[in-house]
Structure formats: C-alpha cells, structure tokens
Structure 1
Amino acid sequence: RLYNPYEWMGMQEKIKSRYTMEEERLMFDAIMQGKTVKQALKLYVQAMEERKNKAGGAAGGGEEEVELF
C-alpha cells in the first residue's frame, strides 16, 4: 500500500474532504502541486480577503461570517 499511487490519491482526497472552507482546499491543492508553505499561505490569505470583500459588499459592510460546525 505504501507505494501504490491510488492509495496516496485516496488518502489525499480523504484529507481534502475534511476541510470545510474552499480557501483551505485551495491551500491544500497548492501544497500538493509543489508550492511552498509560504506560497500556499499567501494564496489562502488572498482568497480569504476576496471572500471578506465579497461578503462586505453583499451584506452592506461590517458583518463577518461565522462558520458553525
């Protein structure tokens, strides 16, 4: 199982499915594509800022989204 590429792909998908936010999945994909942690975190922060800007414009500003799980 250790050297089976299908096992690795399955494990990656299982890990990815545990993330609840699209930004987290984006960061995970960046790491899997070989980007550095610093690069992946930069993508995550940019995506979070974009989401915040979209939510601010749609909600009239100032309100934050809360994720319940």
Structure 2
Amino acid sequence: MEIYMVVALLLGMCAIATGFGFAILGGKFLESVARQPEMAPVLQTNMFILAGLLDAVPMIGVGISMYMLFAL
C-alpha cells in the first residue's frame, strides 16, 4: 500500500515541477523578446531546446515510478 502512495507522490511532484518550469521558461522568454525583439529567433530556438530538456525530467520520473510499481 505504501508503494502506491510513493508512486502517486512521485508522479504528482513531477507534474507540478514541470508546470512551474514551463511557466518560468515561458515568462523569461517573453521578457527577453520584449526587451530585444531582434533576438527572437535565437531565443525561440533556445527555448524549444530547453523545453525538450525540461520535458525529459517527468519522463524519467514516470520511468522510475513504473519501475517501483511493477518491479518492487
């Protein structure tokens, strides 16, 4: 029974952390583009690379939680 609570907590924390990360990333991107509009294409490329890396974090959490759920 404890393992189900741990898995649920792990998945919930991954989702919350990713939401905060995307919110901060998007806000800083908009601030940067508003400050220097000519840098928008470079900043957008960098933002998409960081968004992909940020999206990898919950996938690792899902993998760990599935391992805990089915292998332990």
Sort the TM-score into its range (normalised by shorter chain): 0.3 to 0.5
Return the structure number with greater relative CO, CA threshold 8 A, min gap 6: 2
Normalised by the length of structure 2, the TM-score is: 0.44
Normalised by the length of structure 1, the TM-score is: 0.45
Larger radius of gyration: 2
